[in-house]
Every structure is written in C-alpha cells, then in structure tokens.
Amino acid sequence: QISLKESGPTMVKPTQTLTLTCTVSGFSLSTRGVSVGWFRQPPGKAPEWLALIYWDDDKRYSTSLKNRLSITKDTSKNTVVLTLINTDPVDTATYYCGHSAGVLVPFDPWGQGTLVSVSS
C-alpha cells in the first residue's frame, strides 16, 4: 500500500528557510516513471503545485517559485525533501506531497499534509 507522510516545522519566521521531508512507503523512488510532487494549499484556497522529482532525478518547478525552491530525493532513505528559501507570511499553507505512477499521471495518493505558518 502506497503512503506518504510530510514532516517539518509547524512555524518558521519570515526570511528563514523552510525544509520539509516527505517519507514514502509502498513504492521505490527509483522505479521507472515514478515521481513525487509537492503542493501547498493556503487556508480556504485551491491547491498549488510547487515541484516534482522523477525517478531519474529530473526536476520541475513552479514558475513563480522556482528561484526559491529546491527538491531532492534520497532513494535509500525513501525521502523527498523540499526546501523553500526566504519565506514570507504568504507562504503559510498546508504542504502536501503526492505520488505519481508515471509521466503525466496525476498524483494519487497524497500525504495527510502538514500546516506551516510563517510568522514573526
């Protein structure tokens, strides 16, 4: 059974770096076609796709955030890490990671999400 779980700080101060970890189980990050993506959802708003990393280490980023985002994976640890630098209160959101079984295949399932507040 595929599952994902997000972890990281619940609060960071503006300008700090946010580092989130997605720990996966039930699949391998090195299986051809597989990718893990990150999304976020501010309270009361629609989800926003942030980044994804493919099994072959190909990476894609949101246009608006690409200068602040970094995504990496550690296949041996079954983890995918998202880093967002220079945070701002507008980055306050629930952050989710999700699994995709193939290229152009939507993410399913997603993790339970982790709420991150950016506040001084």
Partner 1 sequence: DIHLTQSPSFLSASVGDRVTITCRASQGISTYLAWYQQKPGKAPNLLIFDASTLQSGVPSRFSGSGSGTDFTLTISSLQPEDFATFYCHQLNTYPWTFGQGTKVEIK
Which spans of this chain sit near partner 1 (rule: CB under 8 A)?
A: 46-49, 60-64, 96, 98, 104-113
Minimum distance of partner 1 from residue 106's CB (angstroms): 4
Cis bond leading into 9, ω under 30°?
no
CB neighbourhood size of 69 (10 A): 18
CA distances from 14 to 75, 104, 119 (A): 31, 34, 6
Minimum distance of partner 1 from residue 97's CB (angstroms): 10
Closest to partner 1 by CB, 16 or 92: 92
Closest to partner 1 by CB, 67 or 120: 67
Minimum distance of partner 1 from residue 71's CB (angstroms): 13
Dist. CA 6–CA 20, nearest whole Å:
7
